[in-house]
Amino acid sequence: GAVVSQHPSWVICKSGTSVKIECRSLDFQATTMFWYRQFPKQSLMLMATSNEGSKATYEQGVEKDKFLINHASLTLSTLTVTSAHPEDSSFYICSAIQGSAEAFFGQGTRLTVV
Amino acid sequence: AQTVTQSQPEMSVQEAETVTLSCTYDTSESNYYLFWYKQPPSRQMILVIRQEAYKQQNATENRFSVNFQKAAKSFSLKISDSQLGDTAMYFCAFRSGSARQLTFGSGTQLTVLP
């Protein structure tokens, strides 16, 4: 299957700082990328959908000013958690699709805000 | 809106035995796709099997097969000859033919016992 690379795998940051997470489709052009948040032993919660060259569509309840998403090319989307606080600590996962094919997932990023 | 329900939070099975994970969904659409994803302790999401709604034949992938009952809106996963490496969280997911995002169930934690 296709490969989606997500970096970093884990990050620890101080409260009030910003953290950027990258999601790259390595061997295909992703028309759409998705960002999820996952709490321990729970399902994936969709945060936003991003299409290359256009603004991301955020799910209800997700603060777009806190979770900045940029999809500048067909192979790269970034999620920036701005002014991070301990409650933003979580596991973040991206996925990418090409056309109507199935989604492929990055390996996830564990964010810890101290 | 579509919903996906997994009523078994946890299950266990002896190595080499067969286990079935349940999933039901609700939709008014006629064109859609169903998936089973596996999330092992590494937390990498891995596609196990997919089923197109228009196909009457149940999908199979080696030891994994589904029982797709369209009228009952049921999509169960059968794992034959269970292996220790099958220990993971399993998510059932739905995607409509007109959309690109996935709707996930709450997951079933499967433990394969030696």
| B34-85 tens-digit pLDDT | 999 999 999 999 999 999 999 989 999 999 999 999 999 999 999 999 999 9
pLDDT for residue B110: 98
**Given pLDDT bands bounded at 50, 70 and 90, which one contains residue A53?**
confident
% of chain A at pLDDT higher than 90: 75
**Given pLDDT bands bounded at 50, 70 and 90, which one contains residue A100?**
low
Identify whether the C-beta of residue A103 lies closer than 8 Å to the C-beta of residue A28.
Answer: no
Question: Torsions phi, psi of B9, nearest 5?
Answer: -65, -35
Q: Report in angstroms the alpha-carbon separations of A90 from B55, B89, B91.
A: 38, 17, 19
Question: Torsions phi, psi of A87, nearest 5?
Answer: -70, -10
Amino acid at B4: V
B contacts of A1 (beta carbons < 8 Å): 47
Task: Report long-range pairs for B85-89 (Cβ below 8 Å, ≥24 apart).
Answer: B85/B40, B85/B112, B86/B38, B86/B110, B86/B112, B87/B40, B87/B41, B87/B111, B87/B112, B88/B38, B88/B39, B88/B40, B88/B41, B89/A41, B89/B38, B89/B39, B89/B40
CA B73 centroid distance within chain: 13
B contacts of A48 (beta carbons < 8 Å): none
Out of B50, B101, B105, closest to residue A102 by CB = B50
Cα-atom radius of gyration of chain B, to the nearest Å?
14
Out of B46, B97, B100, closest to residue A97 by CB = B100
pLDDT for residue B87: 97
Q: Which residue has the tokens 């709604």?
A: B53
- Relative to beta strand A32-38, strand A44-51 is antiparallel
B contacts of A34 (beta carbons < 8 Å): 100-102
Query: Residue B40: in which H helix or E strand, if any?
Result: none
